[in-house]
Amino acid sequence: MVSTETVSGTEAAPSGPEPVRPITSYRTDLVMVILGTWFTVGLMLDAWAHNNVPGLETFFTPWHAVFYWGFLVTGGWIAWTVRPALRGGRPDLRAMPVGYGSAAVAVLAFAVFGFGDFTWHEVFGIEQNIDILFSPTHLGLVVSMFVIVTTPLRAAWLQDRPAVSGLRPLLPAVLALALGSTLILLFLQYGNALTFDAGAVKLALSNPDEGFTSRFVSSLALTNLVLLAPLLLLAKRWRVPVGSATIVYGFLAGLSTAVSGFGNKEMALGVLLGGIGVDLLAWWLRPGADRPRQLRLFAALAALWTWAAFFATAYAVGGTMRWVGEGPAPAQPVPTPELVTGVPVVAALLALLLAILVVPTQPVRAAE
- The span from the CA of 295 to the CA of 318, in Å, is 35
Q: From residue 62, how far is each of 51, 58, 67 by CA, in Å?
A: 15, 11, 9
pTM score of the predicted model: 0.86
- The span from the CA of 365 to the CA of 368, in Å, is 9
- 3-state class (DSSP) for residue 22: strand
Residue 4: pLDDT band with limits 50, 70, 90: very low
> pLDDT digit string (tens) for 79-125?
999 988 777 667 777 788 999 999 999 999 999 998 887 787 667 76
Q: What average pLDDT does this structure show over 234-240?
A: 92
> pLDDT digit string (tens) for 244-296?
999 999 999 998 888 887 788 889 999 999 999 999 999 999 999 989 999 99
- The span from the CA of 63 to the CA of 258, in Å, is 13
Residue 328: pLDDT band with limits 50, 70, 90: low
Q: Where are the domains of the chain?
A: 1-7+19-167, 188-361
Q: Give me the chain's average pLDDT, please.
A: 85
Q: In the predicted model, is pLDDT for residue 243 greater than 60?
A: yes
- The span from the CA of 212 to the CA of 225, in Å, is 21
Q: Which residue has the higher pLDDT, 12 or 307?
A: 307
Residue 11: pLDDT band with limits 50, 70, 90: very low
CB-count burial class (<10 Å; 0-12, 13-18, 19+) for 136? exposed
- Provide the pLDDT for residue 329: 55
